[in-house]
A and B are shown apart, each in its own frame.
Chain A
Amino acid sequence: MTKTAYKKAREDLLVMLVCTLLVAALLFYVIPTLIKVPAAALRDDSFTPRTFPYFLGIVMAICVVIGDCKAIIAFVHARQEAAKSGCLREKAPRKTLHEIIALVMPWLVYILVVLYGIGINRIGFVIPTLCMIPAVLMLIGCRKWQYYLYVYIFAAAMWAIFRFVLHVQLP
């Protein structure tokens, strides 16, 4: 058993615990607050607007409880094995800046996408697209100017297709 397996088991446990919290929030807060049951449904019907979401919530709850149990067992097992092999005391090699940036890259790009979305909402497609393209390309480490040009041409072509062929009035 390696430290990687131990880390994986720990991550799985954390994920399942977060899922448990989310399912609890769904069952005890989201469904009761966001689904109102009309009086007529309460009086006459066994299948109210809440029935199906509750059914799904309960199935999810069963799943996450099973998942929690499995994750706890796997974590305890992995921890014991890792402790036995002594790899828990080993110091992990320090990550280089390049590796750290690679790890957070999806989040950085996602932030740009969110900003792009806000831009589209406020000022339309053209200016945010003009800004998004170099921002994304620079972020992912692209230095070739030709690539910037290709993407601008592609984006312009797509804009034209949506605007004039598909008749979508992009803002």
Chain B
Amino acid sequence: MLGQVITEALTIHNVLIMNLGIALGIVIGAMPGLSLTFAVTIVLTLTYGMDSLSGMYLLLGTYVGGMYGGSITAILINTPGTSNAAATVFDGYPLTQQGRAGDALRTALLSSTIGGLFSAFVLMFLAPQVAKIVLLIGSPEYFALCVFGMLAAISTAGKNKLKGLISAMLGLLLSTVGLDQIYGSQRLMFGNYRLMGGLKVSTCMLGAYALTQVLFMARDVYSQHKTGAAQKVPYVKSTLRLRDLFKYWKTLLRSSLIGTMIGAIPGTGGATSAMFCYNEARRASKNPEEFGHGALEGVVAAECGNNAVTGATLIPMLTLGIPGDSLTAIMLGALTMQGITPGSQLFNGESIWVYAIMGGLLIINLFMLLQGLLFSKGFAQISRVPKAVMVPCIIAVCCMGGFAIGNTTFEVSLLIAFGLIGYLMRRFNFPIPPLTIGLVLGELFETNLRRSLVLSGGSASIFFTRPVCLGILIFAFIFAFMNEIKQFIAFLRGKMGKKAQ
């Protein structure tokens, strides 16, 4: 099988696609203000003429490259290209100020590669085991896992959990558009036959993320026109050797482990992981006072931590079909469009597709290293691309991509409508990720809810009498509402304390 996987993954076409994805990811990731989700959504438009494997390689390349790309501007101009690189700024920029920008960039590149490789290995070994367990669970447990996925998405809303919940419900509701699976009756179609097959998730995401981004960017460009000046990029060549980096092998290992664990949990992501790894590295360091003043170890921890989530986030997506965050939701949407249904059946040995994906992720990380070593100076100049140029470019690409999704101009209209929905949601602080995850999970959610209720004769007690299902539900609620529970306990303690006094 290994030989088959290598022949499948390492064709000239796939190698080119992987490298294109990595380059696009680094370029978009390095542009301040453009998120990783945006990068993957835009690149999604290019996958429709491709076979599923090449399409996934392009998306994975963008994902991995974008995760690293965000660190370039974080290090050079004190502005994280993506939120995942927020922790890299703490030590990356002070290193640039000390004239060691090249060292910081190379450290970020090498640490990202090590974290990414570690995560890809974990994915290869863990995913098949998880898939075996998935075969043993029934519809109520699957439903509970969907609830977990939804609650995890809602938990990313921070203080806006109520708005997150509304957003998630809206996503689930939009997933019901089309013909009912059992009775074939029309649902929320407004008499439009083009909606019979439901809303295309990719179109909705393109509108909600990319077009919305353009609207905000246009405002920023207009506002900054009179004050904005192009920043110079202080690139300096690296003198760092590999052995200088391996002095921090404990930090690399710790951050890889933490990043992988965090990545496997739905609702987390690179930003959380990087921050967590950075804090852990500072706590465990012999010289914690150096952190924040240009410690290479800080860059190692943050970058290794954020790239270590890349493989792990694919575990729930490939084995359960449940996206952990908006990025994997986009990938899942792309897979669904290609006719591939993620789940344990992918691991039954009949097809090498899933193994080619996992092997591909390893290769992508190695190509990222190569591109970073060869073109780091060029990538460093990306932050100088004027935003004004990007606005009409993104509008044109969105509309072309929207058309490509369904080969009809109706998709372009849908994309524009979702652009407005996304804009209003962002403007009024409704988080978008729960909406998109709801859209992706909707069908699975309803199908398993329906099956479970049929099994139980219409009684909801089935979700509370099966121990595994109940366990997942309890864990999901605790996980999502941890802060609220803590606040409530503190409030109770405060009251008890007052009474005792």
Contacts and interface: CB of A to CB of B under 8 A. Distances in A.
Contacts of B218: 105-106, 108-109, 136, 139-140
Interface in B45-73: 46, 48-50
A166 B420 contact: no
Contacts of A154: 389, 393, 396
A121 B386 contact: no
B458 A46 contact: yes
Nearest to B449: A52
Interface string B370-409: 0000000000000000101101110111011001100101
B109 interface: no
A53 to B, nearest CB: 5
Given A105-B222, A168-B403, A53 B450 contact: no
Nearest to B46: A166
Interface stretch (B172-180, B241-249, B317-325, B326-334): B172-180
Contacts of B412: 117, 120-121
Contacts of B420: 110
Contact of A158 (B180, B223, B396): B396
Interface stretch (B132-140, B187-195, B464-472): B187-195
- Secondary structure dominating the interface of B: helix
A167 B48 CA distance: 9
Interface stretch (B161-169, B302-310, B485-493): B161-169
Contact of B419 (A35, A59, A110, A165): A110
A166 B51 CA distance: 11
Contacts of A166: 46, 48-50, 404
A147 B388 contact: yes
Given A70-B162, A162-B400, A35 B173 contact: no
A117 B416 contact: yes
Contacts of B189: 34
A151 B397 CA distance: 11
Contacts of B419: 110, 113
A35 B416 contact: no
A80 to B, nearest CB: 22
Given A140-B388, A151-B392, A170-B400, A113 B211 contact: yes
A21 interface: no
B396 A133 contact: yes
Contacts of B222: 101-102, 105, 139-141
Contact of B416 (A38, A47, A114, A155): A114
B219 interface: yes
Contact of B169 (A30, A45, A63, A67): A63
B397 A38 contact: no
A98 B190 CA distance: 41
B388 A137 contact: yes
B125 interface: no
B224 to A, nearest CB: 9
Contacts of A169: 407
A110 B187 contact: no
Interface string A39-60: 0110001111100110011011
B173 A56 contact: yes
B49 A37 contact: no
Interface in B423-465: 423, 427-428, 446, 449-450, 453-454, 458
Task: Give the interface residue-count category, chain A.
Answer: 35 or more
B117 to A, nearest CB: 31
Of the candidates B176, B226, B388, B454, the one having the most CB atoms from chain A within 10 angstroms of its own CB is B388
A151 B428 CA distance: 31
A63 B399 contact: no
A36 interface: yes
Of the four ranges (under 10, 10 to 19, 20 to 34, 35 or more), the interface on chain B belongs to 35 or more
B396 A63 contact: no
A1 interface: no
Taking chain A's interface residues, is the majority helix, strand, or loop, or is none over half, making it mixed?
A: helix
A130 to B, nearest CB: 10
Interface in B150-173: 162-163, 165-166, 169-170, 172-173
Among B218, B226, B386, B416: residue with most chain A CB under 10 A: B218
A116 B214 CA distance: 14
Contacts of A11: 428
Nearest to B415: A117
B7 to A, nearest CB: 24
B161 to A, nearest CB: 10
B185 interface: yes
Interface of A: 11, 15, 19, 26, 30-31, 34-38, 40-41, 45-49, 52-53, 56-57, 59-60, 63-64, 66-67, 70, 98, 101-103, 105-106, 108-110, 113-114, 116-117, 120-121, 125, 129, 132-133, 136-137, 139-142, 147, 150-151, 154-155, 158-159, 161-162, 165-171
List 5 tightest A-B contacts by C-beta distance, closest first.
Answer: A166-B49, A106-B215, A49-B180, A46-B458, A109-B218
Interface of B: 46, 48-50, 162-163, 165-166, 169-170, 172-173, 176, 180, 182-183, 185-190, 211, 214-216, 218-219, 221-223, 225-226, 386, 388-389, 391-393, 395-397, 399-400, 403-404, 407, 409, 412-413, 416, 419-420, 423, 427-428, 446, 449-450, 453-454, 458
10 contacts: A53-B187, A63-B165, A105-B223, A109-B214, A116-B399, A136-B395, A140-B391, A151-B393, A158-B400, A171-B409
Given A30-B188, A47-B458, A147-B389, 19 more contacts: A34-B189, A38-B185, A47-B454, A49-B183, A102-B219, A105-B222, A109-B391, A110-B423, A116-B395, A117-B399, A132-B395, A136-B391, A137-B388, A140-B388, A155-B392, A158-B400, A166-B46, A166-B49, A171-B403
